[in-house]
Structure 1
Amino acid sequence: MDNNNCIEVDDARPGSVRDSKDPHGPRLHFAPAAWQAFVAAAADGEFGAP
């Protein structure tokens, strides 16, 4: 399913994300611990099914 709700994560800077439809737009930056907690929660299904 393609619903255009995508983000991209910068592999060189984990925790740096942007809207995939606006590659030159603003980025959000998260502290490493906050990003790791988010990824773990998502992997555990804490945010519901996609």
Structure 2
Amino acid sequence: MEIETKGLRVDLSRAAWRKSSASGPNCDNCVEVAFIDDAIAVRDSKNPDGPALIFTQAEWDAFVGGAKDGEFDL
């Protein structure tokens, strides 16, 4: 499956998905991430055939930086 977005062409069939260590059978927060060339894809691990969110490297870096800084803490 190939997606074109944000000036990126992403072939999800080449994705090597990595499941979050916080994901589990009794959890609603199950996510997987794949780094594909210049794009980062994120999907719900309970629905691997469902949609994936595609991020640029800059968007991903901003998200990771915000998470490390506690920007998303409740």
Do Structure 1 and Structure 2 share a fold, with TM-score over 0.5? yes
| Cα drift, residue 7 of structure 1 | 1.3
Q: Deviations over 1:8-38 (max 9, x none)?
A: 1114455210011101111110111011110
Q: Which stretches in structure 1 are left out of the alignment for 5+ residues?
A: none
For structure 2, list consecutive stretches of 5 or more residues without a partner in the other structure.
1-21
Q: What secondary structure does 1:10 align onto?
A: strand
Measured in 2, the distance between the counterparts of 1:9 and 1:41 equals 17
Q: How many residue pairs get matched?
A: 49
Map 1:6-21 to 2 at 5 A. Answer: 6-12=30-36, 15-21=40-46
Q: For the aligned residues, what is the CA RMSD?
A: 2.1
Q: Percent identity?
A: 49
Bigger Cα Rg: 2
The TM-score with structure 2 as length reference comes to 0.55
The structure carrying a bigger strand percent of its residues is 2
- Write the distance in 2 (CA, Å) between the matches of 1:25 and 1:8: 12
How far apart, CA to CA, are the structure 1 residues paired with 2:27 and 2:73? Answer: 17
